[in-house]
Structure formats: C-alpha cells, structure tokens
Structure 1
Amino acid sequence: MPFLVLLLMCIVQTALVARDAVLVSHAARVGARIAAVEPSLNAVRSAVIAATPLDSGRLDVERESARDLVRVTVRYRSPTEVPLVGVLIGDVDLSESAAMPDERRDRPGG
C-alpha cells in the first residue's frame, strides 16, 4: 500500500510539471507575438505574465532580435510541492523559446 501511494504521488507531480511545461510554451508564443510588434522587454514580460497563471516570481523572460526574427525565451522554475516527491526530486527548470517575424515598421531595412 505505501508503494502505491508513493506511485500515485509521483504521477500527480509529473502531471503538475507537465501542465507547467504547457503553460510555459504558451507564454513563450504569446511573448513572441508581442515582441514582433513591440520592442520593449517590459511589454513582452507583462504579456507573458498576463497569459499564464504561473508564479511571476519564478518566471524569467528574454527577448532576442536577429535579422527579421524576434525570439522570446521563457524560463520557469516549476515547484514540486507534492509531499515526499518534492523532497526527492526538487524544483524542475522549464524553458521554452518561440520566434516570430519582426513586424515593427521602424526596424532597419523595414
């Protein structure tokens, strides 16, 4: 019986981390869409935070520009709070990037 309870807790924790991974991926896509039209990192970060219910204190947002693309990378430290399991594996670092064509009118050559 204790083994089954521990197994169930591991499954629940895995599902929570998988949910966070999907939310990080969505946040990166939203950030890339905003970065395509807005040069401000603050605007991108605000859009990423608004697009996801994740803890903003655990989110890190980066914006890069290269030629005609903008890339946004979102990093999140997913908490492992399920009893016993969290102590065994610790927090999980998640990262996702998304790129979009740069649509700003004031870019060089645009």
Structure 2
Amino acid sequence: MTRRRRPGDDTGQATVELALALPAVLLALLAVVQAGLVVADHVGTVHVAREAARAVAVDGRPGVAQAAVADAGGEGCSTAVSRPAEVGATLTVTVTCPSRTEVPLVGALVADVAVRGQASMRVER
C-alpha cells in the first residue's frame, strides 16, 4: 500500500534544499578562511618590514635588512631598501613575501599572491 501525498505535504523538501545549498555554503566558508590566512600573512610581512627598517636605521651596512628579515621569519621574502646617507632623514624598507593559497578546494581556484609590507623610520646612525 502506498501513501498518497496530500497537497501541501513537503516531506523531504528541507533535505533537498540542504543538499543543494551546503556545497555553496562550505565553499564560501573556505574562501573566508583563505582570505583570513592571506591577511595574517600580510600582517606578518608588515612586522618583518618594521624589523628590517629598525635594523637599517641603527646599522646602515649592506645586508642588514636581509639578515633582519631572515631573523624575523621572512623566508622567501625579497627586500628593497631606500636609505639616505644623512642622519635624521627617513628610510624606507619594502618587503615582499609569497602567500600560499593552500586551503582545500579554494586554494586550487585562487593563485598564490604576493603580500607587501612597507615601513619607514628615521636614520639614527
């Protein structure tokens, strides 16, 4: 014996709607997680640039910025330094680091990005 459906009987409708909407919701959630990881990498890059600028401000020898970047955890980062010779002038350090997009599903859809941090300080020596 089969059960007859009455008009307005929506048995199973919620399950079908969940099955259709859940993949899109999960993909959006993973995209938000990936964006958060890129922002965290940007904050880290700004920190590394600030550390390098401080090192260059007190010690103007070549290679100081790269050493400070390595010490601060900037593996694979490139550094550009603009340091005037006179004491009291403002120097600028720009650090560019790769940010890998490795979150499942979303990482394959979004290419790796390069985050850039810049810091300026007064030359002390």
TM-score interval w.r.t. the shorter chain?
Answer: 0.7 to 0.9
Task: Give the counterpart letter for 1:97 in structure 2.
Answer: Q
Q: CA deviation at 1:46?
A: 1.5
Q: CA deviation at 1:76?
A: 1.0
Match of 1:46 in 2: 67
Inter-partner Cα distance in structure 2 for 1:43 and 1:33: 10
Partner secondary structure for residue 36 of structure 1 = helix
Task: Give the counterpart letter for 1:102 in structure 2.
Answer: V
Give unmatched runs, 5+ long, in structure 1. Answer: 105-110
**Bigger Cα Rg:** 2
Task: Calculate the TM-score normalised by the size of structure 2.
Answer: 0.74
Partner secondary structure for residue 58 of structure 2 = coil
Inter-partner Cα distance in structure 1 for 2:66 and 2:29: 36
CA RMSD of aligned residues (A): 1.4
Task: Calculate the TM-score normalised by the size of structure 1.
Answer: 0.83
The structure in which a higher percent of residues are strand is: 1
Match of 2:83 in 1: 65
Identity of aligned residues (%): 38
How many positions carry a matched residue from both structures? 101
Task: Give the counterpart letter for 1:50 in structure 2.
Answer: D
